[in-house]
Structure 1
Amino acid sequence: MSQPSVLKCVLCGKEYEPSTAPYTCDQCGLDGTLDVLYDYPRLKKSLHRASLEADSTPSLWRYGPVLPVIRDTSIPPLQVGWTPLYKARRLAESYGVRELFIKDDGRNPTGSLKDRASAVGVAKALDLGRDVVACSSTGNAASSLSGFAAVTGLKSVIFVPERAPQAKVTQLLVYGASVLLVKGDYADAFRLATAAIDKFGWYNRNCAINPYLVEGKKTCAMEIAEQLAWDVPDKVFISVGDGCCIGGLYKGFGDLMELGLTERMPRIFGVQAEGSKPIYEAFKAGAEKVTFTRAATLADSISVGSPRNWAKALRAVRRTDGDMLTVTDEEILSAIPELARSTGVFGEPAGATAFAGFRKAAQSGALSSGDRVAVVVTGNGLKDIANAQKSVPPALSVAPDLAELESKLGL
């Protein structure tokens, strides 16, 4: 584990000493999210390819020297990270790229990439001696936090929009969280959570506010690189809601270069739903700031009209010569069974959004035959069965009669 050397505002560049740093820049406000930086020249002497090859730890904690947790005893006892990276040969051939890899982060303990952030967030809360953690969420961050809080004995208070999928709300209740279904959208839940956290002094797990949470998410990129023997992909696709996951990819690949573990940065492609695309709009307009809107998409995990980590999201795409795409809800739904039937990976709508974006890019000619591409599936399909059912025809009903079976099957 390692104490960061400095925290730095992504907008104005103001630096903060870690022990006294605010959640966000005191000059730029909530938009001024902070980067967590380390003494890379010192750490690269102990964290290198040989040390990782000798480390059998099957979790994100293998990257402990560039994770901001002070005490090993604060680490939650759940295996997080080191999720599978599958080579999708049939899909690569179908869409005309040299290699396609699917990173299945739905295999994390509570079923989403957000577990990476919660593992670090809960560990930081324990480092600081806090006993209550709280966040707002469209669903996955909430269920993730509640699971990690439960296993460490912390109390969790969760604010989610009242339309959050029942499977995710049920996860929260099973883990014992205090769940508040907020009448409104994610922006309304975020505002209420922020006010409550400030008033009651709870530890803030909101990834777009607490800079340490992105440090957990960055390990997804680090794993992709290590699982590919440090030969990073040419392009990486990921769905975008609040901007934290895509910002985490950029930070992870950047840290690897700072440590001398890799030599280049992949081009990062962010994919938003057509009904929730404020970061896409800002990127395409060349804007310096995102304009908040109302969101409307069945992909609840990225249904965010007021993204709080927009600055890191735009930086990730612009500095890597990447791109932003949008896909419709219909394209998202059709991506769910195609991905599952070709790779065995069942993604929730937001998880399949990245694949839908890859598919759209390939069909438009934006990818080349020599490309090596990775697609991050951020959440498990069992998180949202109601929408998954919309992507497939109903099962056949048949009497226990062979003749009727033959008829139903058209044999």
Structure 2
Amino acid sequence: MKNVKYLKCINCGKIYEPVSGRYTCDDCGTIEGILDVVYDYDYISKICNKEYFLNIHNYSMWRYEPFLPVEKDGPKPKLRVGWSPLYKTDKLAEEIGLKTLYIKDDGINPTASLKDRASAIAVAKAMEENKKIICCSSTGNAASSLAGNAASCRIKTVIFVPQRAPQGKIAQLKIFGSNVISVKGSYNEAFKLSTMAIEKYGWYNRNAAINPYLMEGKKTVTLEICEQLNWKVPDWTVVSVGDGCTIAGIWKGYLDLYNTGFINKLPKLAGVQAKGCAPLTEAFFNNTKFKPSSENTIADSIAVGVPRNAEKALRAVRESKGTFINVTDEEILSAMRFLGSRAGIFGEPAGVAGFAGLKKLINEKIIDYNEMVVCIVTGNGLKDTNNAIKASGYPIEVEPDEKELFNVLENIEGLL
């Protein structure tokens, strides 16, 4: 990897060679010793500029290969991940009190979430290292994204999920042929068991907070946003936060573009957590390390009481001069209805939590009317139809009778 200099511990600064099996710092351990991929920006700048992308017709995350920690022209999973739509939603913006709003809908990825980006990197790296089995723990989306991308290359997967994971996501895992271990406990307990299994059997580790390469896949959402905006930078980027890997990856993407001269400013980041599981919001405002939290929210994908990438996430928001905000489950359900009925975008609870937080940030005058905002929807609503029905309600039932039908239709407000 000519574009990668080394891996660096974000806690003590120790440097490591990017070799197979190197995930965390030996001195700082698996909690504090998270590593960061450090790139040779001079090298990237020599091989990649804005004109370079005019001649790249691969509209997937792999168009950004010069910015990724993979071997040039190395093996890649078969699914088309990335280049999700960025919608300019003028009427939606006006309705919530903004002049300019873009919605990045990452729910259209192959397994219907942003986490396909990280899993594509995991599968590519596993193939580079000739690993036959990949393992992770997940509340659902990371698991299904790994299972789908690995299946496209006939690689086996072992997935640990907490028992509360939605059935839609479990169905994906089983259809993709994954070996699913449902843990009768929390996400943290599932994570610990997956770590034990990985260490014992030598499987490739797809746990994003441990594996430093996977955040690099998530950052491609930022690279796309900037290219789709013709290299303009929004004033704010708003996204839901669980483990912390996604928002840290978003910031890394902006930094990469800034350090290679593609953009000339950096945005503010707003991280949105569920009120029932908000350890990073609390740590941000108290200016402390996070404390473990309960996982009391319908937004399963961000229900992470012990975030494994807390420090990278907190640093990203602080460096951006951004903020965190919490939303209730009721606000999340309202956001599902709002985005669906007014923009035709169907997000799962965790996927729309960012938009719920955006509305609050505008109402609290943290985000100004004239600021340009990109809000990322991280997962599709079909992954959690139970909460979609809770948000929208059940259909109207009628007997096969003409009189009853017309009576019902004439009582629907605004229909006739």
Q: What TM-score results when the alignment is normalised by the length of structure 2?
A: 0.97
Q: Larger deviation: 93-102 or 167-176?
A: 93-102
Give 1:402 shift. Answer: 2.2
Identify if the C-alpha distance between structure 1 residues 141 and 20 changes in structure 2 by more than 3 Å, giving closer, same or farther.
Answer: closer
Check if 1:11 corresponds to 2:16: no
Give 1:71 shift. Answer: 5.2
Match of residue 131 from structure 2: 130
Match of residue 240 from structure 2: 239
Q: Secondary structure at the match of 2:47?
A: coil
Q: Contact 1:86/1:102 (CA < 8 Å) preserved in 2?
A: yes
Match of residue 332 from structure 2: 332
Q: Contact 1:2/1:66 (CA < 8 Å) preserved in 2?
A: no
Matches within 5 A, 1:278-289: 278-287=279-288, 289=289
Amino acid at match of 2:151: A
Amino acid at match of 2:406: E
Match of residue 156 from structure 1: 157
Match of residue 356 from structure 1: 356
Match of residue 274 from structure 1: 275
Q: Secondary structure at the match of 1:35?
A: strand
Q: Larger deviation: 150-159 or 2-11?
A: 2-11
Give 1:2 shift. Answer: 5.0
Check if 1:386 corresponds to 2:386: yes
The superposition leaves residues 191-250 of structure 1 with CA deviations (integer Å, 9 ceiling, x where unpaired) of: 000011001110000000000000100000111111001111000100000000001101
Match of residue 174 from structure 1: 175
Report the Cα distance in structure 1 between the residues aligned to 2:381 and 2:151, rounded to whole angstroms: 23
Check if 1:302 corresponds to 2:268: no
Match of residue 144 from structure 1: 145
Give 1:95 shift. Answer: 2.1
Give 1:20 shift. Answer: 6.3
Check if 1:376 corresponds to 2:367: no
Match of residue 22 from structure 2: 22
Match of residue 81 from structure 1: 82
Report the Cα distance in structure 2 between the residues aligned to 1:213 and 1:322, rounded to whole angstroms: 23
Give 1:294 shift. Answer: 2.3
The superposition leaves residues 358-378 of structure 1 with CA deviations (integer Å, 9 ceiling, x where unpaired) of: 011111111112100000000
Check if 1:60 corresponds to 2:61: yes
Give 1:54 shift. Answer: 1.8
Q: Secondary structure at the match of 1:311?
A: helix
Amino acid at match of 2:301: S
Identity of aligned residues (%): 52
Q: Secondary structure at the match of 2:384?
A: helix
Amino acid at match of 1:291: K
The superposition leaves residues 31-58 of structure 1 with CA deviations (integer Å, 9 ceiling, x where unpaired) of: 2211111111111011110101221111
Matches within 5 A, 1:169-208: 169-208=170-209
Q: Contact 1:116/1:219 (CA < 8 Å) preserved in 2?
A: yes
Q: Contact 2:3/2:40 (CA < 8 Å) preserved in 1?
A: no
Report the Cα distance in structure 2 between the residues aligned to 1:53 and 1:229, rounded to whole angstroms: 11
Match of residue 342 from structure 2: 342
Report the Cα distance in structure 2 between the residues aligned to 1:400 and 1:301, rounded to whole angstroms: 41
Gaps of 5+ in 2: 412-416
Q: Larger deviation: 275-284 or 400-409?
A: 400-409
Identify if the C-alpha distance between structure 1 residues 3 and 153 changes in structure 2 by more than 3 Å, giving closer, same or farther.
Answer: farther
The superposition leaves residues 144-197 of structure 1 with CA deviations (integer Å, 9 ceiling, x where unpaired) of: 100111111111000000110000001000000000000101001000000110
Amino acid at match of 2:193: L
Amino acid at match of 2:136: C
Report the Cα distance in structure 1 between the residues aligned to 2:377 and 2:22, rounded to whole angstroms: 32
Match of residue 408 from structure 1: 408
Report the Cα distance in structure 2 between the residues aligned to 1:402 and 1:54, rounded to whole angstroms: 60
Amino acid at match of 1:394: Y
Q: Contact 2:298/2:329 (CA < 8 Å) preserved in 1?
A: yes
Gaps of 5+ in 1: none
Give 1:410 shift. Answer: 2.7
Give 1:73 shift. Answer: 4.3
Identify if the C-alpha distance between structure 1 residues 42 and 72 changes in structure 2 by more than 3 Å, giving closer, same or farther.
Answer: closer
Report the Cα distance in structure 1 between the residues aligned to 2:93 and 2:2, rounded to whole angstroms: 39
Give 1:22 shift. Answer: 2.3
Q: Secondary structure at the match of 1:45?
A: helix
Q: Contact 2:234/2:373 (CA < 8 Å) preserved in 1?
A: yes
Q: What TM-score results when the alignment is normalised by the length of structure 1?
A: 0.98
Report the Cα distance in structure 1 between the residues aligned to 2:225 and 2:72, rounded to whole angstroms: 26
Match of residue 221 from structure 2: 220
Give 1:29 shift. Answer: 1.2
Q: How many residues align?
A: 410
Match of residue 49 from structure 2: 48
The superposition leaves residues 238-289 of structure 1 with CA deviations (integer Å, 9 ceiling, x where unpaired) of: 00000000011010001001111011111000000001100110001011x2
Report the Cα distance in structure 2 between the residues aligned to 1:25 and 1:405, rounded to whole angstroms: 67
Match of residue 70 from structure 1: 71
Report the Cα distance in structure 2 between the residues aligned to 1:235 and 1:329, rounded to whole angstroms: 23
Report the Cα distance in structure 2 between the residues aligned to 1:265 and 1:29, rounded to whole angstroms: 31
Q: Contact 2:101/2:374 (CA < 8 Å) preserved in 1?
A: yes
Report the Cα distance in structure 2 between the residues aligned to 1:99 and 1:231, rounded to whole angstroms: 13
Q: Secondary structure at the match of 2:392?
A: coil
Give 1:28 shift. Answer: 1.6
Report the Cα distance in structure 1 between the residues aligned to 2:107 and 2:143, rounded to whole angstroms: 15
